[in-house]
Amino acid sequence: MSEPITTLSASRIKTAESCSWLYWSKYKLKLPDRSNDGARRGSICHLIFEVLGEKRRRHYFDEIIRTLDVFSVPSIKRLIMKHAIREGVDDKDNVQMMKEMTLNGLMYDFFGDTEVDPTEEHSEKDFHIVVNDGTVKYKIRGFIDKLFLYKDKKFALIRDFKTSKETFKGKDAEDNMQDLMYSLAVKHLFPEYKTKQSEFLFLKFDLIPDVKKSGIVRMEPLDEHDLNGFEHHLTEIQEYLDNFNEESATKNMAAYKGFPSDGSFSCKLLCGFAKEKGQLKKDGTPMWYCGMKFDFFYYEIKDSNGNFAKSCFDDEFSEEMVPEGGSYEMKYYPGCPAHSS
């Protein structure tokens, strides 16, 4: 087998499976995309979890739990507000949501020691694994928000924080890519831990088990058979994405998949219902639509060696963004072929 080329992540695979054109635009053309407030809030919450996950900051965690206020620790307040201002989510409503979601995550067994102390605890555990043994071939990379290892039980608890407004539905609830990817990573990193279970915490919901709208989603532990099957699936995905081209980009477009039957946000829903840029709903608020649906101008920035550095929208560009000795060029994206005339 040839060496794997494309580095696979759970989000990259999900994008490719959801819409081939979105994958082409995001990972091959490397077009800019405006993240929404929810994504910006989520990144800040994850940053705070990473900071407070360090043992040397346990006293900050204790103070927040004592006061039930994330802003009771001045340095944490400054950190949140610094990034909130930078990301444009420093208004009262967004800040309040971040405070509530962060506190929710901190109050739920944050150190994995409610019942018994873990042997090891990792925050933002990174992995980069390459396998090419003649039977399976893949290159995967990612970060696990929280990983708790219990040596006596040979049990690994994988935890991921979610700031989305809905819990899993459809395929995500039954055959979750992050669950499979993270469990496989733990198998490689800590092979002695035979039982692996993923736990997703949706921070906008009550983190109470067994209630109707619980934000706790526990997946069934994956066994060796499950992970072996996933490795073969990854091998197929690796081959597909290593050879992905513009022709591939039009073969699996969300626009042509109809509407989902499982209640998930997938298929044609990923395009959004807007017929034109800036279209408003009846209440006067903007209609959401995929960032690659309509045309736009953008800048492509290269470094001094002529390699791609980044891209940005024309209204975000300044020459200060160009590396020393680098170059830039304004380009035009004509929009998704399923929607552009």
Whether 14 shows a pLDDT value over 90: the answer reads yes
Domain boundaries, position 187: 10-20+114-242
Of the candidates 205, 196, 201, the one whose C-alpha atom is nearest the C-alpha of residue 46 is 201
The pLDDT assigned to 173 comes to: 83
Assess if residue 196 is contained within a domain.
Answer: yes
Q: How many domains are contained in the chain?
A: 3
CB contact at 8 A, 309 and 302: yes
Whether 278 shows a pLDDT value over 70: the answer reads yes
Q: Do 139 and 201 reside in the same domain of the chain?
A: yes
Q: Do 299 and 223 reside in the same domain of the chain?
A: no
Q: Do 89 and 178 reside in the same domain of the chain?
A: no
Whether 46 shows a pLDDT value over 90: the answer reads yes
Question: Where does the pLDDT of residue 264 fall: very low under 50, low under 70, confident under 90, or very high at 90 and above?
Answer: confident
**Mean pLDDT (whole number) for 18-25:** 98
pTM > 0.85: yes or no? yes
* pLDDT tens digits along 194-211: 999 999 999 999 998 777
Assess if residue 149 is contained within a domain.
Answer: yes
The pLDDT assigned to 341 comes to: 59
Q: Do 42 and 155 reside in the same domain of the chain?
A: no
Domain final residue, candidates 53, 83, 107: 107
d(C-alpha 195, C-alpha 174), whole Å: 18
Q: Do 226 and 303 reside in the same domain of the chain?
A: no
Q: What sign for the dihedral angle of Cα 109, 180, 134, 126? A: negative
* pLDDT tens digits along 98-117: 999 999 999 999 999 998 99
Q: Do 142 and 225 reside in the same domain of the chain?
A: yes
What proportions of the chain, in percent to the nearest 5, are helix, strand and coil?
A: 40, 20, 40
* pLDDT tens digits along 294-321: 999 999 999 999 999 999 999 999 999 9
The pLDDT assigned to 2 comes to: 84
The pLDDT assigned to 170 comes to: 83
Domain final residue, candidates 107, 132, 151: 107
Q: Do 102 and 118 reside in the same domain of the chain?
A: no
